[in-house]
A and B are shown apart, each in its own frame.
Chain A
């Protein structure tokens, strides 16, 4: 139903006419989201259209909007940069206003204490740039530096290649400012007791377990307007001397740092190497990154990408080059790692240890990808994560399937099935045939190691119905494949769930092994969201779905 003139006028009064729209074309630019075509009727690229898009400029404006939403019974879906189908409204039959947080974009760095206080439209690239200048750095989520810090810290996930050393955002988030769905302002931790941003748990109210958890509530339970995030010591240069030109810039590797591509002869030795890296506390940024292009094509792809005169159409000839073919075999099971030392002596010691563990595990450095040029490219890629959109490079559509997180031994258990699944689903040419495995993921999502995860990169053409349908089928297949070998479903299950009705989803959750979590969360929702202006991205089951006690 269109928003009433009365409610719309009230929104205009809060944010100003120029910061609200109900124009269908404008609202469509919010409904359109990546992955929508995989879950929407008729493969539409549009999620449900909001009834209005509103851009608040302050915490008080957000609060006023949320109160208004309660009055008019309109759902509220906030997004920061808006890059995933779950950032959009999810119901066709329930009015939802989209909050675009882009006007709230201030950053403050507490240099002495290594804390940054950010508003939702501050992205990781900005935080990283400001931190580096002051001798600090930060974890950048795997989605890359285009993403909002607040979204990743308060509302969703927050893991990335740096989380292994620096901690993920779930660990690093400090004080949070949260507008509950009822329109209350909650300032968490030390912030709530007027003691500043330094702690998320206290002194003051701790709501982190309620509203953040491991995954976050994806815009389903109120709006975050600010948060503080812990920064991490940076021993490198503070001037960010990037060189080269588009698309593949280079960052000289400081004398206290290294950027390597390491390879293993098989998955057992790959797992051994991961454990030894954890045990020896090696690694600053640790990611299986370049393999996203697929093990058969990755070396050729990256050598193409780093040469500004080359194009994607050059890849087949490069793949056929005997030297590159040899390299492809050499780095079939490979990953990237950036080491950071506090001094030259420290990094030299790390180098020695790395050489030792490589020798012990029968693994090696891939020389071609460790030479100065590729090391500088690897360095900028992993330090800034400014190329994440390359996930979509083949044809504009990508699904990350699998990505169950656990120990290296546990993860290596699903690789053969994931690999065979991609080969099977891509064999008729409806998905990109990048060969081998196309698995990418962090060395560990959790600080200190142990939380490795690999997602299979499956590329489909969103401009081609048959290819899109093959993508959907692949996700369904991946769930079956995982269950067949005793693993829980991976990311694809979450993606697909976006297209399911509340009824189907609530029934599924009610049938879960531990439905208690969902029941407990309903009680939280009832408390904070009495008028149900959120959506089920805050996972809960209504009372009527509750399994018999």
Chain B
């Protein structure tokens, strides 16, 4: 892929601005109609998906050059994908989100990245995770849980583990999130699932992909795939929406190139939903709580199944654009929305109240696209908007299914509390934390 591959998208963008809003049919108020945190915070049209395509065109046509503003335009965006959904309400020939990612990759290759990136990628390269923490610290969360471990060397060492629980870096290292990942593991154990954790778990490297470090991503992905293949892993289940998306949507291309298989990828909410529906989990204890559920971008609208495609644009009826073979249509319609909701609905005492912007129209938590690390103020603002929206529903708790979202919301609630804002008393939970309370 190259910037030029998105020239047609740029030239066919009509500057309609749909990408700045949630799909219009879903708008229920003045306050919660916006869909793109980037343009809402940074305001200039360039910070919308359409504006980014135009910026790419301007660069391709030599009308402007890469400077600090252009770097911000490329990277000050959560890659949340609302734009992609909203654009595709009416279009079959546009891939704005993929375009933004290509924009980032191109600038990265030129060494034009936000100031925070070199350190982050340096951490991944030296320590194996973006936080730069020692690998040994990863296992802390498993203490006392008595979980099976994937033996070093995997199947060859005689410890076949068809189901692997992949905690993800943030859940593994961040003590404030520990109870959540532990709850997930306890739920799966209670459901009788035979699974193992990997004491040498490695980063999914999805973030490297979004930062534009494609080689680092591919190397990390290949190493994981090889390890899983060697260990005979048939299913990977993860509580982190970003890991889920990385495995599900990004790994298949690496796997295909390396002649490897991607195991079945499940989010913990999907696995819990399966166990509930099979009767293996029977929540009996009442959890009296009104909650609203936040769809993580990587689980919801971007959590659709991967479809391999190697095709080209062709025209029918003279000029209408279609693809041969038909191109996958990632528009959020097939995201993972129901499993987490079904789990919540199965918990006695839980009252689920929807936010206006939910499912494919969910407002991002703020952390995506490395915004949390590269643009902390923008990140905090975006999360603040979401916790206010959650509070406006009247729910007592905001529940999600991703480490990044939960971390961001906890901080946003603390900030609201410090300011005496209403959202300051919201509780933050992971879906499986509540399920565990009910068992």
Contacts and interface: CB of A to CB of B under 8 A. Distances in A.
B317 A32 contact: no
Nearest to A301: B320
B33 A123 contact: yes
B402 interface: no
A242 B58 contact: no
A431 B329 CA distance: 25
A177 to B, nearest CB: 19
* Count class of interface residues, chain A: 35 or more
Interface string A339-364: 00000000000000000000000000
A28 B64 contact: yes
A463 B53 CA distance: 14
Contacts of B13: 32, 396
Given A21-B69, A389-B18, A395 B321 contact: yes
Given A247-B331, A311-B326, A395-B319, A463 B14 contact: no
Interface in A19-36: 19, 21, 23-26, 28-30, 32-34
A46 B55 CA distance: 12
A545 interface: no
A429 B26 contact: no
A389 B54 contact: no
Given A25-B73, A30-B45, A103-B43, A389 B33 contact: no
Interface residues of B, number: 64
A245 interface: yes
B312 interface: no
A29 B25 contact: no
A26 B12 contact: no
B177 to A, nearest CB: 31
A295 to B, nearest CB: 13
B302 interface: no
Interface stretch (A69-77, A165-173, A379-387): A379-387
Interface stretch (B90-98, B127-135, B182-190, B284-292): B90-98
Contacts of B30: 107, 122, 126-127, 129-130
B89 interface: yes
Contacts, number: 230
Contacts of B29: 126, 129-130, 133
Contacts of B323: 313
B69 A431 contact: no
B88 interface: yes
A144 B85 CA distance: 18
B320 A432 contact: yes
Nearest to A380: B25
Contacts of B332: 245-246
Q: Which of B59, B85, B92 has the most CB of A within 10 A?
A: B92
Contact of B11 (A24, A28, A462): A462
A383 to B, nearest CB: 9
Nearest to B7: A463
Interface in B68-91: 69-70, 73, 85, 88-91
A162 to B, nearest CB: 15
A83 B67 contact: no
A14 interface: no
Given A386-B89, A392-B14, A23 B67 contact: yes
Given A46-B63, A245-B333, A311-B329, A432 B28 contact: no
Interface in A270-325: 297, 308, 311-316
Interface of A: 18-19, 21, 23-26, 28-30, 32-34, 37, 45-46, 53, 55, 81-83, 100, 102-103, 107, 122-123, 125-130, 133, 144-146, 240, 242, 245-247, 249, 251, 297, 308, 311-316, 380, 384-390, 392-397, 426, 429-434, 459-464, 467
Q: What 8 A-B pairs are tightest by C-beta distance, nearest first? A: A396-B12, A386-B24, A429-B318, A389-B90, A313-B322, A25-B64, A24-B64, A28-B58
Given A29-B45, A315-B316, A387-B90, 15 more contacts: A24-B64, A28-B57, A32-B57, A34-B16, A45-B11, A55-B43, A125-B21, A146-B21, A246-B360, A247-B88, A308-B333, A313-B326, A394-B320, A396-B93, A432-B318
Interface of B: 7-8, 11-18, 21, 23-30, 33, 43-46, 50-51, 54-55, 57-59, 63-65, 67, 69-70, 73, 85, 88-94, 315-324, 326-327, 329, 331-333, 359-360
